[in-house]
Amino acid sequence: MPPSDSLTSLIGEAPTSGSVTKYEHAYTVLREKIVRGILPPNQAIQPQLVSAELGMSIIPVREALRRLEQEGLVVIKPHVGATVREFPVGEACENLLIRAELETLATRLATPHMTPALLRILAFILDEMDENQKAGKWDEFGSLNKRFHLTIYSVLHERQLLRLIELLWDQIPRAGSVLVVVPEYAPKTQCEHRAILNALSSGDAETAALLTREHKLLSLQAMKSAWEETQGVPDCARG
C-alpha cells in the first residue's frame, strides 16, 4: 500500500446514524474492501488503526475480524494478527466447482420469477459489459459479470441458497470472473451470457439452468488452462 494512502480511504467513514451497530459497520466496510480487492491478499489489518479511523473502540473491530475469519476472508494468527486470506489455486477450483452446481439450481428456481423489468436490467448489464470489453476494462467487466449472475438470483425465495452463492463469490476476490485471468475469453463468455438471457426471457428454466452450468464449467476450464501454463493444476481441477 502506498504510504500516502490513509486507512480512511480504504475503510470508509464512521456511520452517521444509529441504524447499524459499530460492529456491523466495521464488518461491512472491511468485507467490502476485501471483496473489491482494495485490501489485497496478505494485507495486514491492524485493529488499532481501523478503530481509530472508524471512530470506535477496538472491540467491535475485533468482533468484525472474527466474523470475517469464520467466513474465510481473514486469517488471524496468535502473536501475528489479522491478514487478508490468500486462496490457493486448489481452493479456487473447488469454489468454482461448487458454484457451478449451486448456480445451476439457482437459475432453474429463478427463471419463473423473471419480470420484463428485470430482463431489461440484465440486458443493460450485458451491454455495459460489451463496452468494458471493447475498452479492455477487465476489473469493471468482472464486477458486471458478478452483478449479472447475482441479479438473476436476486428473485430467489430460497434466501439461504442466495447467501451461500454470495459467500462463495466473495471468498475469492477478483477470481469471480475468469476475465481477470483470461481476458481473451470475453467474447465467448458474452455469447454464453446472452444465451442464458434468451432462455430466461422465454421462461425455459431447464435450458437456462443447463446453460448456466455449462458456462460455469467452461469458465473453470479456461481458468484451469491458464493456471496449467504457470503452476500446474491441483487434483480438484482435473477430470
Q: Is the pLDDT of residue 110 over 50?
A: yes
Residues 70 and 101 in one domain: no
Encode pLDDT of 212-230 as tens digits.
999 999 888 877 776 665 4
Averaged pLDDT for residues 132-153: 89
* Range from 47-61, 85-99, 209-223 carrying the lowest mean pLDDT: 85-99
* Range from 96-110, 150-164, 218-232 carrying the lowest mean pLDDT: 218-232
Domain final residue pick, 38, 53, 84 = 84
Q: What is the mean pLDDT of the chain?
A: 83
How far is 6 from 157, CA to CA, in rounded Å? 41
Residues 43 and 93 in one domain: no
Q: Is the pLDDT of residue 14 over 80?
A: no
Residues 93 and 177 in one domain: yes
Residue of 193, 195, 203, 198 lying closest to 114 (CA atoms) = 203
User: What percent of the chain has a predicted confidence (pLDDT) above 90?
Assistant: 54
What is the Cα gyration radius of the chain? 19
pLDDT reported for residue 179? 60
Tell me the CA distances in angstroms from 187 to 1, 96, 180, 183, 224, one per residue in order: 34, 20, 14, 9, 18
Report yes or no on 98 lying in a domain: yes
Question: Which range in 7-11, 19-23, 36-40 is most confidently predicted, on average pLDDT?
Answer: 19-23
Query: Counting Cβ atoms within 10 Å, is residue 228 exposed (0-12), middle (13-18) or buried (19+)?
Result: exposed
The DSSP bridge partners found for residue 9 are none
Q: Which domain does 209 fall in, by range?
A: 89-237
